[in-house]
Homo-oligomer: A and B are copies of this chain.
Amino acid sequence: MTTSRAERRQQLDQQIVELGRMQLSKVGAAALSLRAIARELNLVSSAVYRYVDSRDELLTRLVIVAYDELGEAVEASVARASGPPEARLATAMRAFRLWAVDHPAEFALLYGSPVPGYQAPPERTTAPGTRVIAVLLRLLSEAAQAGTLRTSGPPPPGEPLCADLRAIAAEFGAALDEADVLAALGLWTWLLGAVGQEVFDGYGQATFADPGAVFEAQLVRQLAALGR
């Protein structure tokens, strides 16, 4: 079996990321070990540096594939869903939770505490990292245009804050005013908190028989406070 050099290169590149994900889910991001990956590939430790610049570089690759997979899952779920924007919003958030529960280590890498010495390079990670929030803003925008949003009250105080909120709406091309974006932020914030608590086992394991039920109950509460 003769594999050309380019083929083998590509193959190993992929295997390394795959094994990285396996290790991620076993030992966590902070304990990710290039040497362990090399061992599983029957390579000597130094050889793996032909394919990965450094441990941080591998971490970045893992961040990107995780963001993309999560974004894919959320986008696919709303593409499959029908009904009013609020219902599809709920679908998207449920998809977010499901992916996180299925991939706790990846979720921790994306939204958990930062890995000590590591800083994700924004120029490579922000694009895939904003897919989910983009979906949320798009659906809220649809709801606003349908007139089923009740958020518009007095705009949040503070001109610099309002400017930042408007900048977000503009960046994502959402037809939302300041109060709407603030509400979206609250929703996003709550979602991260809820999923984080569940995935990181913030309540003890014994407090809730069905974590999905408490997520669902909280979700309808949050959405009720939003629409009308």
The copy count of this chain in the complex is 2
Known: A164-B214, A168-B207. A192 touches B182 (CB 8 A): no
Number of interface residues of A (CB under 8 A): 53
The interface bits of chain A over 164-176 (1 if a CB of B lies within 8 angstroms of the residue's CB, else 0) are 1001100000000
B27, B31, B156, B194: the one within 8 Å of A217 (CB): B156
Assess A161 versus B210: contact at CB under 8 Å? Given A31-B117, A189-B190, A194-B193.
yes
Chain B residues, CB < 8 A from A222: 186
Which one of A41-49, A107-115, A135-143 is at the interface?
A107-115
Is the Cβ of B164 less than 8 Å from the Cβ of A113? no
User: Is A158's beta carbon under 8 Å from chain B?
Assistant: yes
Given A30-B30, A164-B207, A210-B158, A196–B192 Cβ distance below 8 Å? yes
Q: Which 5 A-B pairs rank lowest in CB-CB distance, beginning with the nearest?
A: A193-B193, A112-B113, A30-B30, A28-B116, A108-B113
